[in-house]
Amino acid sequence: MTSSLVVDGGSPLVGDIEVRGAKNLVSKAMVAVMLAEEGCRLRGVPEISDVQIVSGLLELHGVVIDSTDRDGELVLDPTNVEQAHIADIDAHAGSSRVPVLLCGPLLHRLGEAFIPDLGGCRIGERPINYHLDVLRTFGAVVEKRQDGLRLTAPNGLHAADIHLPYPSVGATEQVLLTAVRAIGRTTLRGAAIEPEIMDLIAILQKMGAIISVQTDRVILIEGVDRLGGFDHLAIPDRIEAGSWACAALATRGDIYVRGAQQLPMMPFLNVFRRIGGKFEIDDDGIRFWHPGGTLNSIAIETDVHPGFMTDWQQPLVVALTQTTGLSIVHETVYENRLGFTDALVEAGAHIQTFRECLGGSPCRFGRANYQHSAVISGPTPLQAAEITVPDLRGGFSYVIAALAAEGRSTVHGIDLIHRGYERFSEKLDNLGAVYKLP
């Protein structure tokens, strides 16, 4: 994979592309395989580097993975799970946070787990203390080492009463992947309820788990002695679908996103319509297009589901540079997710960031020194620029900006985009983008 993309922008993106399984579900479904004592089949798997990383981690632990001649399908055999070497885990996990989610399954299967120093996108602290606290509550013992953390469960894992202080997706996944085989009945309060979480619960139920989703973010999990395999088609990637929708808006284009589904995208579709974008839903996907004329400014804040997803925010900000008036974006999920706007300002956008909670309710970052609100003034023509990808969603946003800008832009560090967007160059080709890979 090349590390740079040279884009000749200023032309509308028009055409069809397809989204497959959600990055935020597929990797967790692969982790769930470690709990099984039979073979599993996962369908709709995208060709992204995160899948390759998790595949490597599972294979280090003895899982046999067959994807031969199966486009978008993985057959996984976890019957001979074993402990991997610490150095091998560290080498594979440099850019992934999946090892922390392997802990519950590994403690159940082997009685021991190891977490190396964790990588991932630099969009905020994203601490693993939620995960460690959860695992300790189930009975895990955490030992700090120079190269990471070693976890054991001398007395096994037992059900717990857990109340998350924030509906963290990762912590919710940790509870689910640990509680399904813990002894007793676990109650989780303050749970995340994202569509990807619901799809993971569906997978675990197929395996034999007993999980009940109650009102007010309460999930009950009754531990079972054994889990079998599963055959599952992953929920489509609503983040990627929303990213391409924003690209249609920013470039005054018309993009049909095959595989996009209405229900998990409802918060996004409402915002898209309020801005003035048009969409049309059918059984196979959603068509997004710019209707011509002016677009409306908007005030939004990101939130956990069913709010407006934080991963939609960055591509949307690029589209908001083309709306008329002042738009306000209040980021409440990750404290440092607006840093990417600096490069957009260099490309001609009028964006100011603030420490205050603007345009919405006070959030947990309001009293801290984080630039977590943005005011975007538009419309402003974007100019060609040389920019470097800061993180996965910010990187896609830079590509949108380059495609919308007049002239030739160079986007460095696009390897990061392959973590979450499959067949990226092929999709750009399908939409008529003018670019080259130097």
DSSP code of residue 308:
B
| CB-based burial label for 433 (10 Å; 0-12, 13-18, 19+) | buried
Contact in structure between 109 and 81 (CB atoms under 8 Å) = yes
Helix ranges (DSSP H) in 138-280? 169-179, 195-207, 238-250, 266-275
How far is the C-alpha of 408 from the C-alpha of 426, rounded, in Å?
A: 20
DSSP state, residue 190: S
Catalytic site residues? 121
**Angle at Cα 332 formed by Cα 245 and Cα 134, nearest 5°?**
110
**Cα-Cα-Cα-Cα dihedral of 235, 238, 244, 249, to 10°?**
140
Work out the burial of residue 43: count CB atoms within 10 Å of its CB; fewer than 13 is exposed, 13-18 middle, 19 or more buried: middle
Half-sphere exposure of 300 (CA within 13 A, CB side): 24
Q: How many CB atoms lie within 10 A of CB 291?
A: 12
Q: Which one-letter DSSP state was computed for residue 93? A: -
Q: Identify whether the C-beta of residue 6 lies closer than 8 Å to the C-beta of residue 399.
A: no
